[in-house]
Amino acid sequence: MRYLTDRKRAMGKGSAHSGTEHHWYMTVSAVALAFMVPTWLYIFGSALGGTQAEVVATFARPFPAILTGLVLFVGMQHFAKGATMMIEDYARGSARKALVILAISISYAITATGLFALIRIAL
């Protein structure tokens, strides 16, 4: 029989051994998005309704381009992890696997499409 103290049992990060990392990732990305999204919305809102040349000039500057890329990447990673966790909680069997693959694929597709468009504008 193994002798484990209560502290030693708690150090194992739960039965899945990944819950703590997932929780911290979601917390950090949520806080980052809470600061980035309002700033991005201000930049996007000021560019909205302008001519194509004005919009291209706005997003060709470094700060709006980098912020847009970060919002896309961090937002879609946050979405993928959150959707995966939700699907794992409520779906079972092969539907679960298919939905997880679909959620992650949608996240990657949106990220790639958005970054491609941003690169086309910025360069």
Write the secondary structure of the chain as one string of H (helix), E (strand) and C (coil). CCCCCHHHHHCCCCCCCCHHHHHHHHHHHHHHHHHHHHHHHHHHHHHCCCCHHHHHHHHHCHHHHHHHHHHHHHHHHHHHHHHHHHHHHHCCHHHHHHHHHHHHHHHHHHHHHHHHHHHHHHC
Look at residue 9 and tell me if it is in a domain: no
- Residue 1: pLDDT over 80: no
Taking only the tens place, the pLDDT of each residue in 70-107 is: 999 999 999 999 999 999 999 999 999 999 999 999 99
Within a domain: 35: yes
Q: Give the contacts of 111 (CB within 8 A, at least 6 positions apart).
A: 72, 73, 76, 77
Residue 12 has pLDDT above 60, yes or no: no
Give the Å distances, CA to CA, from 78 to 32, 83, 104: 10, 8, 11
The answer as to whether 12 is a domain residue is no
Q: Global pTM?
A: 0.82
Residue 10 lies in a domain: no
Residue 4 lies in a domain: no
Question: What's the pLDDT at 108?
Answer: 98
Q: Is residue 7 in some structural domain?
A: no
pLDDT exceeds cutoff 70 at 56: yes
Residue 37 has pLDDT above 70, yes or no: yes
Burial class (CB in 10 A: 0-12, 13-18, 19+), 69: middle
CATH number at residue 66: 1.20.1300.10
Phi, psi of 6 (to 5 degrees): -60, -40
pLDDT at site 109: 98
pLDDT for residue 119 is more than 60: yes
Range of the domain at 45: 21-122
